[in-house]
A and B are shown apart, each in its own frame.
Chain A
Amino acid sequence: MEGSYWDLVLLVMEVWLFVVLGLIVLPAMFGVSLGFTDLYIKVLVKILEVNNTLIQTSRIIERNDDSMEEQIVELRRSHPKFHSVGDFTLCDAFYFCKKGIESIVDDEVTQRFTSEELVSWNLLTRTNINFHYISVRVTIIWGLGLFIRYCILLPLRVTLAAIGLSWLVIGTTLVGLLPNSNVKNWLSDVIHMTCYRICARGLSARIRYHSKENRPKKGGICVANHTSPIDIVILANDGCYAMVGQIHGGLMGVIQRSMVRSCPHVWFERSEMKDRHAVAKRLKDHIADKSKQPILIFPEGTCINNTSVMMFKKGSFEIGGTIYPVAIKYDPQFGDAFWNSGKYNMVSYLLRMMTSWAIVCNVWYLPPMSIQDGEDAVHFANRVKSAIALQGGLMDLSWDGGLKREKVKQSFKEEQQKMYSSMIVGQD
């Protein structure tokens, strides 16, 4: 009896692998869609609509967004000796005091780094912040959803990810053995592309690419807003890029080292990253070689929650070359792709991703931009940032993404003082 039990298990596994390979991996590699993902997403949307419930928004207080001048004039209006500007009154401090207390209760920057709150309940959690018991029917559906996600989707996705990554490592190592030639480059592109396609299936990702004619070309730099490590998979599904980054140990390091065997990526040792000139030089050399793939860089330097674009670090914009901006916007209904690195480590993040329903996102390729005469890198960076924010429907913030870790610069405080003093003593 035991023999046949094991036979059965083996049979199930064979069928499983056959299904996975035949219906998912092979079509993925050839870039063919059997329409499963589209159908799946249609069904999901229907279910979500049926179970829509409003949850509370995340703002705790109502904020007054009038400018400093308007608010202070308002304040003074009731003061007996009313001067419009050019004078100080005791109640001016109220404006700063109120603003200060408002930011203690609820501030904009901290908001940006938690996930975008959804208005509709999305079956991923009971509600996004708290549990609100709604009805038995809804709880049952939630429980069913949980079962499907963890017991059916998760194993499937993990299998796919494992297949995809091993394919990448083995494939690139083999290709790396070939002498440099066009065939090698072509094979390398194929291997990379197919691996990323398999990984995309492993996340049930449906990606829409817009304006493909603006796709990044060799010798250029591709610049995009950053939400999660998955961005790489999203972009690499539609083109081959040279990655830039620090070389890690462990599994990540293995993947990085084998990737670089078949086509040139730019990996830095941790010590090299400190030397900005060395970094810039290597990137410059890479783009000077027109046969190499375009470099992919995320200038925000950190993951942002996909409702806004934060300050672009100027380093990538000083290298020269043509910049190809790309805007990535995830649809938060199906799964929150934002990686809050303070809250989740990589493994728990990936687990979260693989147990969400789907990743749906839009990618817009924007027309290439280059630095203009007399323009400095910071200005250019801001120009590119605005273009990306505009296209993706994201808010264009001048906050530094690194702010979530560091202190505010003194110069920002001076800005506030300048504004106030121009009201008190007039312009100089």
Chain B
Amino acid sequence: MGSTSSTLSKIPNADELIQETGFTSAHLARLFERFEALDKDKKGYLSPQDFEAIKELALNPICDRIIGAFFSSGQEMLDFSSFVRILAHFRPIDNNRTKEPNSPDPINSRINKLKFAFQLYDQDKDGKISRNELLQVLRAMLEKQVTEEQLESIADRTIQEADLDRDDAISFEEFRKSLEKVNIDHKMSIRFLR
């Protein structure tokens, strides 16, 4: 495995990352190559502009939020470990991993995937998706294609369906409950080849 190990040697704390994220060494090496390819100025870290330079991502209506998920603590520099930790959310769930009672959930567990999706909506991180936050996401996904009234009625209907304690906002529990039957593993996972 000549190349993988040579790439791996460039990654600090590679073993730790493999343990934490569950990526194989081959996947980690390829992600590192991708990281380097995205880092066009060879700074050693990624900035929001590097993400914006990805053409397909710029097409995405919620691209700002996705980029925001990587730079969540307001910092402008993303190192490789953080990059990989976030991408680890999208690994398919390992069903045969034995769960020790006191060990933390793996990054790609169902709950963590849901939490990742939740934070795309909950921009102010208060643990609830307010009506306003919901409207913002709808606006991002629909922009000029629908009227403000239509947006409002969609937001109202969505909250009505999911909001169980009638506080006019969707908490994480309500979010989770509402998506109970959705196959999160399939929809929020990316299959890595080889």
Contacts and interface: CB of A to CB of B under 8 A. Distances in A.
Given A102-B190, A424-B154, A90 B179 contact: yes
A105 B158 contact: no
A133 B6 CA distance: 13
B161 A104 contact: no
A276 to B, nearest CB: 26
Interface in B145-194: 145-146, 150, 154, 157-158, 161-162, 170, 175, 178-184, 187-188, 190-194
A96 B188 CA distance: 10
Contacts of A403: 55
Query: Chain A contact residues: over half helix, strand or loop, or mixed?
Result: helix
Interface in B43-73: 51-63, 66
Interface stretch (B14-22, B95-103, B134-142): B134-142
A107 B57 contact: yes
A274 interface: no
Contact of A133 (B2, B7, B141): B2
A42 B112 CA distance: 57
Nearest to B52: A407
B144 A414 contact: yes
B31 interface: yes
Given A101-B87, A106-B34, A75 B175 contact: no
A182 interface: no
A407 B56 CA distance: 11
Interface string A82-102: 000001111111111111111
B37 interface: yes
A131 interface: yes
A370 interface: no
Given A96-B61, A98-B90, A421 B187 contact: no
A75 B191 contact: no
A52 interface: no
Interface residues of A, number: 57
Contacts, number: 165
B161 to A, nearest CB: 6
Given A97-B188, A130-B3, A103 B54 contact: yes
Nearest to B141: A420
A108 interface: yes
A342 to B, nearest CB: 9
B118 to A, nearest CB: 9
Identify which of A95, A97, A417 gathers the most chain B CB atoms within 10 Å of its CB.
Answer: A97
Contacts of B38: 104
Contacts of A78: 181-183
A183 interface: no
B191 A62 contact: yes
Interface of A: 56-57, 59-62, 74-75, 78-81, 87-110, 129-133, 399, 403, 407-408, 412-418, 420-422, 424-425
10 contacts: A62-B192, A90-B158, A96-B141, A97-B120, A101-B66, A129-B3, A130-B6, A399-B55, A417-B61, A421-B145
Interface of B: 2-4, 6-7, 30-31, 34, 37-38, 51-63, 66, 87, 90, 116-117, 120-121, 137-138, 141-146, 150, 154, 157-158, 161-162, 170, 175, 178-184, 187-188, 190-194
The 8 closest A-B pairs by CB, nearest first: A130-B3, A421-B145, A103-B56, A100-B66, A62-B191, A408-B58, A109-B55, A107-B56
